Structure 1
Amino acid sequence: MSEHLPDDDREAVREALIEWYEADHREFPWRRTDDAYRILVSEVMSQQTQLSRVEEAYADFLERWPEVSDLAATDRGEVVAFWSDHSLGYNNRATYLHEAATQVVEEYGGEFPEEPDELQELMGVGPYTANAVASFAFDNGDAVVDTNVKRVLYRAFGVPDDDSAFERAASALMPDGESRVWNNAIMELGGVACGKNPRCDEEGCPWREWCHAYQTGDFTAPDVPTQPSFEGSRRQFRGRIVRLLGEHDEMDLDTLGHRIRVDYTPDGEHGREWLRGLLSDLAADGLVEVEESDDGDQPLVLLAS
């Protein structure tokens, strides 16, 4: 799948992400339904609109038009006026949503098609939205590839910045027949833990063990084109040191270096001198202690008592 993820680890990566998502995730009302109409409404509303604004509008919309037949039966101008009143962006989305509802009622007998290709026959429903509805309503979609997913795959597994490469990697990683939970989970990962400003440790990212960016401190991505500042990277590694020492009590210098950075080499650019600089900062803050050896053994690093 990628140069950074051996095939033998693929199942472990899948299980780790799904377990992380199912243990705790953001609660949105459209995640609590498998109704295709409600999911389509949420997807159309969420296009380039803040989710906090979408939640309120979503509830109001469904209170007014609770079923697809209700929306199809109303006047298009009412839907456009609602869209404008709730600041949901381009009004043509309201027009398309109304037309799609009319198609479902008149051409499909009020039942949504279940295949992504068929869903694209609905007005205003492109490949991404069709796949999202197929995934979340019918558990019948392909791997979603949005900006968040691209960022995750680029950082974690070194997938090149190429649409076809992202699609191949996303498809290879998604478990068969689990598009609903998988697509929700990987988008949640990109939205919560692997945003433009990553929160790997704070959000307990389940892919830290495999993630290339986490190991190297380079969190650039297609939508994050600038290299993180040097000081930012140092803070990231200092936090990683404290977390590891909290788990292992003490570690010798080189073992610690290899655990926090995959390209650590004792005499290299990111080697002992670099690591001692981080430890010096942490010691000055009263967080760690370095016990030097008199017999030539590696110094021991431990949390300050």
Structure 2
Amino acid sequence: MTAEAREWALPDDSETVRDALIAWYEADHREFPWRRTDDPYAILVSEVMSQQTQLGRVVEAWKEFLERWPTTADLAAADRAAVVGFWSDHSLGYNNRAKYLHEAAQQVETAYDGDVPESPAELQELMGVGPYTANAVASFAFNDGDAVVDTNVKRVLYRAFDVPDDDSAFETAARELMPDDRSRVWNNAIMELGGVACERTPRCDEAGCPWREWCTAYASGDFTAPDVPSQPSFEGSRRQFRGRVIATLREYEALELDTLGHRIRVDYAPDGEYGREWLHELLTDLESDGLVELDRNDDAFTVRLKQ
């Protein structure tokens, strides 16, 4: 996409725009502990934990996780059930993320001699690490990543510079804005802007947004933005009951289907809406993720954590 062929454009004084954002970020920003380290393992843990989880909840879990498994070697040698149990106990979302993080640590130990790879391409070879997470780790740990594009960044670019709601356009704009060799501070800064100033309900003046003089939305008062699906409620969700299954099975060697069902929800009824069919589907997903084992015997079976 060439500048001539597109209908949107970044400000001509891009250097001033960049300097304003970095100065704003460095003067004051939220103090998350993973922002004070360049340990790639610690940053990888923070990125995996932060997926669809409020950052405030992640802080204590992140600290406790690293106290228990401070290195990739420690995590690789850990019992997977313990890692999954930690994830469930701290309500960190889908438990397969814990499984993948455990497997990624084992890959680091066996394939990379204990050193987390540095490039986004190599990082994506790790289990459960997609393009966004790989780029974030490369940026924040090694200052060697591309421009990060998450929902916050998209909202900022859409409002400030009329970048259309198109992934390739967002990626182009983010890449052109990011200063060379400064991916660590830049990606932190632009995500911070979207997180504290350019939220769904913007706080431009209150947060002292450094881009107000260039921002199209601020000038027009039109703060529409790409539709961003809200995170589904955790209460009553499949994530919640997946976590309850794991937590319950940690207390018992094995449980029969109906016994497990009654222990994870008060409205469980074998033939009801939330009964055997519902629970079997939930357990099949957990089995596919390698988290539980089902010992089948005709229509009856028992469930246990996979070791």
TM bucket by the smaller chain? 0.7 to 0.9
TM-score scaled to structure 2, two decimals? 0.72
Partner of 1:208: 212
**What's the counterpart of residue 107 of structure 2?**
103
Q: Which residue of 1 aligns with 2:61?
A: 57
Shift in Å at residue 6 of structure 1? 3.2
**1:184 aligns with one of 183, 188, 205:** 188
Residue 91 (structure 1) aligns with: 95
Match of 1:67 in 2: 71
Match of 1:153 in 2: 157
TM-score normalised per structure 1: 0.72
Aligned counterparts, 1:9-24, within 5 A: 9-24=13-28
Which residue does 2:173 correspond to in 1? 169
The answer as to whether partners of 2:84 and 2:99 remain within 8 angstroms in 1 is yes
Aligned pair 1:6/2:11, yes or no?
A: yes
Amino acid at match of 1:212: T
Identity %: 79
Q: Which has the larger radius of gyration?
A: 1
In structure 1, what is the Cα distance between the partners aligned to 2:98 and 2:225?
A: 33
Residue in 2 that maps onto 1:230? none
CA contact (8 A) 2:11 2:214 kept: no
> Which residue of structure 2 aligns with residue 222 of structure 1?
226
Q: Give the CA deviation at 1:224.
A: 6.3
Offset of residue 223 of structure 1: 2.7
Which deviations, in whole Å up to 9, do the C-alpha atoms of 1:21-61 show, x marking residues without a partner?
A: 00000000000000000000000000000111101100110
Where does residue 201 of structure 2 map in the other structure?
197
Which structure has more RCO (C-alpha within 8 Å, separation ≥ 6)? Answer: 2
- Following TM superposition, the consecutive aligned residue runs of length 4 or more in structure 1 with deviations greater than 6 angstroms are none
Residue type of the partner of 1:79? V
Q: Note the residue ranges of structure 1 that are not aligned, 5 or more in a row.
A: 226-305
**How far apart are the structure 2 equivalents of 1:171 and 1:35?**
25
**Conserved? CA contact 1:196–1:223, under 8 Å:** no
Structure 2, unaligned runs of 5 or more: 230-307
Count of residue pairs brought into register by the alignment: 224
Distance 1:195 1:18 in 2: 18
